[in-house]
Amino acid sequence: MEFLPNKGKNLIVEVNGRRFARYPIKTKLITPNDKDILKIVEEYAKKYAKPEDIIFISEKVVAITQGRSYPIKEIKASWSAKFLSQFVTKTPVGVGLGSPETMQLAIEEVGLPRILIASVIGTIGKLFGIKGLFYIVAGHAARSIDGAVPYAIPPYNTYVSKGPLNANEVAENISRKLETKVAIVDANDFGVNILGISENTKSPIIDGRRLLEINKKLVAKIIRDNPLGQTDEQTPIGIIRLVE
């Protein structure tokens, strides 16, 4: 199969003096009816992956298979969610927790007391010109919530999602089955966060050389330009391969 880059992306990048290929893999449209991310990755990526590769998977597709993506019209926002969402700064990436529906999911994930504390500290930070304190205090679970954005592939332009559960465990299970390294990633055109990574950190020795060892910082650098895309590419899985 010939791998083609998504629009505006490159297949090859150089990181730390080494060149890496990032191969996006097109899949069917993943829906909440798909309950097993392992089967999906096995179906679409196994035939291409080599033992020395890293398979990286969009956190959103993992969340979808875990039943953690919801039509926005089905989210019943509380009074607290409606009130608090007014004070969240919207980012270039999307609304974040700046909508009542996403704020409601954040309250469900980390609890109202923590969201209230984060709101107070975030407000104080803004007075001193410090941005982002709300999300630091609210924590990873709140930060991982995705709002509905018009550029997402339908029907997910009208869905909101929580972050995936047990991302490290998911990565490890897939790693053991496919016998390669795996990372669960939260990536967009403005930043990358590695949510889960398999414990299978050592690459096999091939021709006397250990080709690649996986770590979160390295993976984040390799996919810093979000090679999977974030609109209608329908490529929620990719392969990282060290090239000569």
Q: Which residues of 223-244 are buried (b: 16+ CB within 10 A; e: fewer)?
A: beebbbbbeeebbbbbbbbbee
Whole-angstrom distance, CA of residue 182 vs CA of residue 55: 5
- The domain ranges of the chain are 12-68+163-243, 70-161
pTM confidence score: 0.89
pLDDT at position 225: 92
pLDDT at position 212: 60
Nearest to 142 by CA among 170, 123, 117, 125: 117
Q: Output phi, psi for 203, to 5 deg.
A: -75, 150
One digit per residue, pLDDT tens: the chain, 244 residues? 568 888 889 999 999 889 999 999 999 999 999 999 999 999 999 999 998 899 999 999 999 999 999 999 999 999 999 999 988 776 655 668 889 999 999 999 999 999 999 999 988 998 999 888 888 999 989 988 988 888 888 899 999 999 999 999 999 999 999 999 999 999 876 778 899 999 865 554 444 444 566 788 999 999 999 999 888 889 999 999 998 7
- From the candidate CATH numbers 3.30.1360.230, 3.30.2130.10, 3.30.1330.100, 3.90.1150.10, the one assigned to the domain spanning 12-68+163-243: 3.30.1330.100
> 22 has which bridge partners?
240
Q: Radius of gyration over alpha carbons of the chain, in Å?
A: 19
Q: Which two tokens stand for residue 180?
A: 């390669």
Label the pairing between strands 209-210 and 181-188. Answer: unpaired
Whole-angstrom distance, CA of residue 174 vs CA of residue 155: 27
Whole-angstrom distance, CA of residue 142 vs CA of residue 150: 21
Whole-angstrom distance, CA of residue 61 vs CA of residue 29: 10
Residue 104, Cα to own-chain centre: how many angstroms? 20
Torsion of CA 39, 73, 92, 105, to 10 degrees: -70
pLDDT at position 230: 81
96: left (phi over 0), alpha (psi -120 to 50) or beta: left
